[in-house]
Amino acid sequence: MPRKKNISVYSDLKTGFFSKLFLSIGFSLVILFIVIKTFFLDLIGEDVLNIMIAFSIIFLGLGFIIYFFYFQFKRLADIAREIEEGDEQIK
C-alpha cells in the first residue's frame, strides 16, 4: 500500500516569499535609480547608476523566474489534490 504524500504550495522552498523579495528589491532599485537620475545626477557618478540599473534588472529577472516556479508548484499541488480526491471517490 503506497503512502500518501502531502504536497503543499506553502512548503515549496519558499518560492513565493523569495519572488516577492526579489521583485520588491528590483522595483525599489528602479525607483531609486529614477529618483537619483532626475535629482542627484551631479552628486553620484554615472558608474553607480549603471551598477544600480544592472542589479535592478538582475533582481527583477530572478523575481519573475522564481514567481514562475511558484506558479508551477501551485498548479502541481492543485493537480495532486484533484488526483487524491479522485482516488478517494473511487474507494
Q: 61-81: per-residue pLDDT in tens?
A: 999 999 999 898 888 888 888
Residue among 36, 25, 22 nearest 66 (CA): 22
Highest mean pLDDT among 4-13, 63-72, 80-89: 63-72
The CA distances from residue 69 to 14, 37, 39, 77, in Å, are 10, 34, 38, 12
Lowest mean pLDDT among 1-5, 17-21, 53-57, 67-71: 1-5
Highest mean pLDDT among 13-17, 26-30, 83-87: 26-30
